[in-house]
Amino acid sequence: MKNGKLLDLYSDYLISAFGQTTATGLSSLLDGEVSHDHIQRFLAREEQTSADLWRIVKPHVREIESEDGVVIVDDSIAEKPYTDENDIICWHDDHSQQRTVKGINFVTCLYHSQGISLPVGFELVRKTERYTDPKDGKDKRRADKTKHEMYRDLLQQAVKNKIPFRYVLNDIWYASAENMNFVVTTYPFYPE
């Protein structure tokens, strides 16, 4: 089975599952048509990037693009409370729940046009730097790149990819003077 088809199949499996998802479970659901080893190898291959995502969605974006398109930048946390901590799965402040949660934190860029929304970019928050918090003396992690920097990078990439849009939407949390100045002065998206 080609990787594109397996990606679609695995994505559908994750979306439709109500319980625990495993490569063995998907293989069983398919009556062994695709072995769990094949699924495991697919999942273990090299890490996918935002550029890989763009290559997949670009033809679809070109079909729906319009000058009235909207780019939406937001961050999310996929909670992983029982997974061992590492640079990607670690503790993050979740402003929506007003608490710290363990999981994968990522910033996404979504393009919305003609009633259709497509993801066009993402960045994982990687907390690779360790430090001791002077307030409580606890060892903690932090990223070498802020989510505000990721916000600007994702917008810059959308412009570089020639995605036409009129507005940028985001949570008020991203409404810093630096970000808003970047949106208005660096890239005047508004059609003349």
pTM above threshold 0.85:
no
**Higher pLDDT among residues 4 and 34, named by residue:** 34
Q: What does the alpha-carbon distance between residue 8 and residue 16 come to, in Å, rounded to a whole number? A: 12
Q: Are 13 and 36 within one domain? A: yes
56 and 38, same structural domain?
Answer: no
Please count the structural domains in the chain.
Answer: 2
60 φ/ψ angles, rounded to the nearest 5 degrees: -75, -40
Q: Among 166, 88, 99, 168, which residue's Cα sits nearest to residue 126?
A: 88
Residue 166 domain boundaries = 47-186
Q: Which of 115, 111, 123, 122 is nearest to 169 (CA)?
A: 111
The whole-angstrom separation of Cα 139 and Cα 130 is 7
- Domain match, 61 and 132 both: yes
| Pair 65, 143 in one domain | yes
Q: State in Å, rounded, how far the first CA of the chain is from the last one.
A: 48
Residue 191 lies in a domain: no
188 band by pLDDT with thresholds 50, 70 and 90: low
- Output Rg (C-alpha) for the chain, integer angstroms: 19
Looking at residue 187, its pLDDT comes to 67
Choosing from 10, 28, 45, the residue where a domain stops is: 45
Rounded CA-CA distance 157/152 in Å is 9
Higher pLDDT, 44 or 67: 67
Does residue 15 sit in the same domain as residue 54?
A: no
